[in-house]
Structure 1
Amino acid sequence: MTASMPAPVTLESDVVRLEPLSASHVPELFLSGGGDDEVWRWLPATTPHGEAELAKIAAGLIHDRDHVPFAAVLRETGRAVGWTTYIDTPGFAESIEIGWTWYGRAVWRSGVNTSCKILLVDYAFDKLGVNRVQFKTDVLNVRSQAAIRRIGGVPEGVLRRHRRRPDGSWRDTAYFSILDDEWPAHRARLTRAAGPAV
């Protein structure tokens, strides 16, 4: 695992600014994806149907020492459209996980996710000095798995009955990773595909 979780930091590209998640982001985040069952379908919390519910979920992440959460803010509008986090990885040497991610449907397939992942993976390898960035998702979440593969995530296997979903059913979890020496080629490919706006 990492020696300690990184301190909150702000990371920016031409598309998105990742800034430490705070309660002040909640109203915009709720407008972006609160109450949307499809956005929250595979997440580790039930769909928030009010700002107070979303604020409670956000506070849990903000105060959890195993998570460093970021609000994803569109540079063009200055509005928060989702969040993503660094997560501690007990049992894995020099690794960090990127996950607990969601974005409002308005920015799906827009390049926001790729921009966020480039910022977080770059920072993990270049500044945090990790050897491996990990991703995991519900084995039924085909859209998330495709997104992880697109940025270079290599499948590592499936943990069966890894944990309970919010509805109480068992979740099998698919694991992926990117190693430090694999990332430069993936980053170059992603940057070429997206053009100068990444």
Structure 2
Amino acid sequence: MLALPTLSSNGITLKPLTLGHTEDLVIACQDGELWNKVTTSVPSPETVVDYINTAETMADRVAFAVVNDSSGKTIGTTSYHDILPSAKRLEVGYTWYAQSYWRTRVNTACKLMLLTHAFETLGYLTVGWRTDIDNHQSQRAIERLGAKKDGVIRGIRVRRNGVITDTVMYSMMVEEWPENKVKLIEKLAKYEK
């Protein structure tokens, strides 16, 4: 299993997710009532503890708290998951932020840190993403990172409302990373102006 690093850049710190982040995450998920969105896996305020406990016990997941450095508050989570050391492949997911942080520098900063760590420190060759077929906002966000759409896996996921749905798969290869890294850095510079 991967070690749990602390990564920090552009006013955001990624720390290993623990029960110490519960109070802030209860507040964060209420910002936009995110648990009501059936195409995501955001916990309700009552299930944040279970969400954290599950993340900590999954063998192929390394979960991070997303901390806003200026406030010191945890504003969401993100993870490495489906980690395949032999294939040098992992996925980035279980990502959600309080709605007031959507379309800000937060997602770009987090993905820049996670991708840099995966490709340049861990030496992984492929980073993947997956999202619900109807989560068009997430699909656009993944595509803005420079990921390529691999295809759709039909009937693979059960939404919290019991509906069986399809998943869109994306990936980025290590040889695509340098160009995409430059684009992410340029995108972050625009937020800071």
Q: Identity of counterpart residues, as a percentage?
A: 32
Over aligned residue pairs, what C-alpha RMSD do you find? 1.9
Considering Cα pairs closer than 8 Å and 6+ residues apart, tell me whether 1 or 2 has the greater RCO: 1
> Unpaired runs of 5+ in structure 1?
none
> Would you tell me which structure has more helix in proportion to its own residues?
2
Residue 92 to residue 36, structure 1, CA distance change in 2 (3 Å): farther
TM-score, normalisation: structure 2: 0.92
2:40 matched to which residue of 1?
43
C-alpha displacement of 1:44: 3.5
Picking from 16, 37, 48, the partner of 2:12 is 16
TM-score, normalisation: structure 1: 0.89
Matches within 5 A, 1:79-94: 79-89=73-83, 93-94=87-88
Picking from 122, 128, 139, the partner of 1:128 is 122
Whichever residue aligns with residue 74 of structure 1, its letter is N
Q: Secondary structure at the match of 1:130?
A: coil
The CA distance in 1 between the partners of 2:184 and 2:121, in whole Å, is 20
Residue 91 to residue 13, structure 1, CA distance change in 2 (3 Å): closer
- Tell me the matched-pair count: 190
C-alpha displacement of 1:64: 1.2
- List per-residue Cα deviations over 1:108-154 (Å, max 9, x = no partner): 11110110001001000011111100000001000000000001110
The CA distance in 2 between the partners of 1:109 and 1:160, in whole Å, is 29
The CA distance in 2 between the partners of 1:92 and 1:164, in whole Å, is 28
Q: Secondary structure at the match of 2:175?
A: coil
> Unpaired runs of 5+ in structure 2?
none
The CA distance in 2 between the partners of 1:32 and 1:105, in whole Å, is 8
